[in-house]
Structure 1
Amino acid sequence: MEKAAVRSVTTSEVEHFSEHGWVHLPSLVDSDTVEGLHRVADDRLSATKSEVGRGVGYVDRAFGQDRDIAAIEPDFRAVAHDKNMGDNAIRLLGSVHRVRLQISNLLVKEPVGSMLHSEETVFHQDFPWLPMDRSSMLTVWVALVPVTADMGSLRFVDRSHRLGVLGRSFVRDGDDMLSQHPWLQQHSIAGGVDLQPGDATVHHALTVHGAPANSTERRRLSFAATYFGADTLYTGAPYSQTDQLDPPLTVGSPFESPRFPLIDTRIEE
């Protein structure tokens, strides 16, 4: 039997995610598959001279992004659309029957001493930016190289997915979520684990998370894919990913657009 590119999550992993809002998934992606992703990533970085997603915004200071890579590169598409990936998202979220892919990015956090060095990723929630009427969303963050804690593996404010929407970060200097809401420091900071290629962390869209700067001499390279419940409705709030769609989305309707493909799964509705 052919080995699956993406493994299924276990019951204990689902329970941990439900309780804590994040989970560490060792060996989520098969080693041969992740080697292929790494080769494609290196080729793309070489072609762009490493200047992936470099800009002047607050997010761009924290990491470079090769956006929507699953729509461009077949190897990344195969992983993002893997049926086990869809099943995992459904099981982890627990409240949805189908999921759509919201975005897939190759992420690069350059070392502090390099010309394109990345700063810390301030603590934030993903959901406050999105034009969606519910927060049934998660992000799968897969290491493509060995990622040690001092390279900037993700940290999570434990159980913060239960605290509701806390506002936006990446808007102005000093708007780190922990600075905006000092009481969050009463919660423990989890994560920051060392990851091998193919290991992943998953976090809920309401989980407060961040990462320190990459203090090593090696580039942090990862792949992130975000999934959301297919019943989610579009609110019409301004957002770069949806503002210029043709045909446009309809306010109050699901995200029925090729831009947000449904993921096939093995789970029966």
Structure 2
Amino acid sequence: MAAPVRDVTEDEARFFRDNGWVRLPGLVAPDLAGRLRRRALDRLAARRRTAGSGLVDRAFGQDRDIAEHDAEFWALAASPALARGAVRLLTGVQRVRLQVTNLLVKEPGEHGRTVFHQDFPWMPMDTSAMLTVWLALADVPADMGSLRFFTGSHRYGTLGRTFVREGDDALTRHPWLRDLELSPPLDLAAGDATVHSALTVHGAPQNRRDTPRLSFTATYFDAAALYTGAPYGQTDGLDLEVNRPFDHPRFPLVPVE
């Protein structure tokens, strides 16, 4: 059964195309957000988690491909409404594939800020028509670490990789980004979401509350994208063919109806 997800409006799509990000209040029904939150907490409690030492690990914890292990998260990620929304938001895209899902947790006192970065520079796709839905599973007030975005930064193409060197991020490499408008601090209720382009420079502050920030993300990309062969952990060893579509079970087409 499809997850209860509302459709993206044309006004929201226009805002996304202009700004590179959009807030989607009440994207999923509150009862679904509550069920997913409980499942997420149960999964996190059942797993023996050790803090990593990498630059990403210092910013947040993650349970990659959560939808492959949990039917309710899969039902959400494979929701036709989410696929329709992604198609509506991305210019010139007819269908989308699911690239990855993630359960993200930002623990107070353990994780620091998420430095400003783009998602796309790591990707082995030949087109940047890609976006991430970031869903609050519990209320996420701004000082818990909701995302912030440099508005319009998606217009400037690929700006290089972050999380590579200590003390290096998109702002240190490109100080001119500060001339762009930074999105306001966002207070999100459970079931609210933000969506950002893979080219939008974004980051998040440290969680200054006393409870973990809990969110679910699903990333979608143009089904017509071709594989470039660039090294990437998710695609290495899958025997994908260069200059061919991502026709592999790891990247399922998501129906829009």
Settle same-fold status: TM greater than 0.5: yes
User: Counterpart of 1:13 in structure 2: which amino acid?
Assistant: E
Asked if structure 2 preserves the Cα contact closer than 8 Å seen for 1:8 and 1:87, the reply is yes
Q: Partner residue of 2:13?
A: 14
User: Counterpart of 1:229 in structure 2: which amino acid?
Assistant: D
Q: Verify: 1:249 aligned to 2:246, yes or no.
A: no
Q: Partner residue of 2:43?
A: 44
User: 5+ residue gaps in structure 2?
Assistant: none
Query: Structure 1 CA distance, aligned partners of 2:203 and 2:237?
Result: 29
RMSD: 1.3
SS at match of 2:23: strand
Deviation per residue, 1:241-260 (Å, 9 max, x gap): 00022xx1000100000000
Deviation per residue, 1:168-213 (Å, 9 max, x gap): 0000112111111111100011042000000000000000000011
Q: Partner residue of 1:205?
A: 198
Query: Structure 1 CA distance, aligned partners of 2:185 and 2:81?
Result: 25
Query: Structure 2 CA distance, aligned partners of 1:236 and 1:229?
Result: 17
Asked if structure 2 preserves the Cα contact closer than 8 Å seen for 1:154 and 1:191, the reply is no
User: Counterpart of 1:24 in structure 2: which amino acid?
Assistant: R
Q: Partner residue of 2:136?
A: 143
User: Counterpart of 1:241 in structure 2: which amino acid?
Assistant: Q
SS at match of 1:101: strand
Amino-acid identity (%): 58
Change (3 A) 1:3 1:225: closer
SS at match of 1:61: coil
Aligned-pair CA distance for 1:234: 0.4
Query: Structure 2 CA distance, aligned partners of 1:39 and 1:181?
Result: 40
Asked if structure 1 preserves the Cα contact closer than 8 Å seen for 2:2 and 2:79, the reply is no
User: 5+ residue gaps in structure 1?
Assistant: none
Query: Structure 1 CA distance, aligned partners of 2:189 and 2:213?
Result: 12
Aligned-pair CA distance for 1:4: 6.0
Name the count of aligned residue pairs: 257
Asked if structure 2 preserves the Cα contact closer than 8 Å seen for 1:139 and 1:226, the reply is yes
Deviation per residue, 1:124-171 (Å, 9 max, x gap): 000000111110000000000110111110000011000110000000
Asked if structure 2 preserves the Cα contact closer than 8 Å seen for 1:154 and 1:210, the reply is yes
